[in-house]
Amino acid sequence: PKLNVAVVSKVYPMRSHTISAEGGMAAVLREYDSLDSHAYDTIKGSDFLADQDAVEFFVKESPREAIRLEHWGCPFSRDPDGRISVRAFGGMSVKRTLFATDKIGFHLLHTLFQTSLKFSNIHRYDEWFVTSLLVDDGKVEGVAAIELRTGDLVTILAKAVVIATGGCGKIFQFTTNGWIKTGDGMALAYRAGVPLKDMEMVQYHPTLLPNTGILITEAARGEGGYLLNKDGERFLKRYVPGKMELGPRDIISRAEMTEISEGRAFEGPYGSYVHLDLTHLGEAVIEEKLPFVKELAERYVGIDPAHEPIPVRPGQHYQMGGVHTDMYGYTGLPGLYAAGEVACVSINGANRLGSNSLTECLVFGAAAGKAAAEYAQKQPAPSFGNPVQGLFMIEENRIYDQILKHEKGERISAIRTQMQQAMEKYVGIYRDENSLMEACRIVGELKKRVKNAVVEDKDRVFNTELVSALELEFMLDAAEAIAYSALHRRESRGTHSRIDYTKRDDLVFMKHTTAYKGPDGPRIEYSPVTITRWKPEERVY
């Protein structure tokens, strides 16, 4: 009751990217399961780069947050006995993924948003775009944000700020991520001096529609779907024989790329692909448990998955790395907290298990909110005097007198496309020293060129081109951190697969990469991984 909370979002909250999550959320709610089992699966899935104290905290809090969500009204799918239904998911040793058909993100976001409407001290700033954090005397005092409807830059003063802006998938050309996923929160923290951690760990999802990048949920394999090459063979028996289609995402994505490179994939107008076959499941199972998969297949590739296999290929999906935080969301910069995909606690390490991310949003969102509230209650009221006012005026000058005033220069879209193509080509599923050096060079060059790019729309009202220019600068900051972090990690671990360093090197690289913003590219440092009870071992399935 004592708190005054502002929710600032560049899109209407129900357009947040959580809406697109399909498969489910992991939590230990069955008698055959255990917290230790969930923790071990998560740590092994991370290729032992996860901080084990954070994982233990996460698995312990997960059931509590799932039940809280259910009590708030989330319409989970149910078993005949009334319990929340669970399904199998990749890398999980038992069925522990709670689901709401195949639209969990939609229902979760509705539940949280509707619950938030009950509180009069939560004030929403919908379609306001945050351009910078206001940092004075070593602590965060609020944010500068553009009200998109008027084009005015406004100061929102705050005693504490929680960043929950999601990932940065639009840095890549082929991604499941929507247009809003431009790494804003990562870049905001990075510019304020907070390191970005483990940014080289970029997750590829194995089942995207080749023409659109739309994701076909892992739940399709959790319910018994098969992956087949052009010979009709379930090729995963060569890669993850113990898990097959329920192997971790990084291994399955690499398996698909190997099938493609060795000529065992199908060829189509949008490149090479393999088949996801659900036909043996029957219409009833698909209608009951995978209705959204059926809708997507029919709408975007014109096939009924009950009668024809779905064409799929891997693409960028999730960012394991992000803003460095502790397990309570604190970034190390007083007043600044982060949670969700934008943050790196890290429970995901080098590879996230499917269905852990939604629960991560709930667990660490709650922890960050609580920590930020406790901090805010001890702080004096912020004042809009110097130097905060001075910082605001610098930001106003940067946006309106520099970015918006250029009359001639390159188009924003041309620079963005070059960045996406470079990241796709040089920082993809397979990497090596030369390709990563080239990525670092190109991103550095694009960062110089974007300073002289032109925003042709000079109007202030809903100026989406100006927003695109600011988002591109955010994306280039995150892209720089990804490319440099990948270049310096000379091993293969989880999603980070180097063809010139094919083995995992625990002696040298059992540590987190931390990238600090510098004038000529990031400064790369390292911090230890917390090991509690699970000693690193070979990761085989």
Inter-residue contact 338 to 322 (CB < 8 Å)? yes
Strands 336-338 and 310-319 come out as unpaired
The structure tokens listed for 315 are 């693409």
Residue 330, classed as helix, strand or coil, is strand
The residue annotated as part of the active site, out of 38, 107, 205, 489, is: 205
The structure tokens listed for 75 are 């319409």
- Rounded to whole angstroms, what are the CA distances from 506 to 49, 492, 537? 10, 10, 10
The residue annotated as part of the active site, out of 17, 96, 107, 221, is: 221
Which one, of 308, 301, 299, 245, lies nearest residue 277 by Cα? Answer: 308
Residue 142, classed as helix, strand or coil, is strand
Q: Is 205 a catalytic residue?
A: yes
List of residues 6+ apart from 170 with CB closer than 8 A:
177, 178, 179, 181, 182, 183, 420, 471, 475
Q: Is 17 a catalytic residue?
A: no
Could you tell me how many helices (H) and strands (E) the chain has, helices first?
A: 14, 22
Phi then psi for residue 126, to 5 deg, are -80, 140
Q: How far apart are CA 322 and CA 463, in angstroms?
A: 28
Inter-residue contact 424 to 476 (CB < 8 Å)? no
Q: How far apart are CA 267 and CA 264, in angstroms?
A: 10
Q: How far apart are CA 427 and CA 443, in angstroms?
A: 11
**CA quadruple 380, 385, 391, 396: dihedral positive or negative?**
positive
Which position has the token pair 């300073």? 451
Q: How far apart are CA 70 and CA 9, in angstroms?
A: 25
- Rounded to whole angstroms, what are the CA distances from 136 to 133, 288, 383, 384? 10, 54, 11, 11
Strands 152-157 and 430-431 come out as unpaired
Which residues are marked as active site? 205, 221
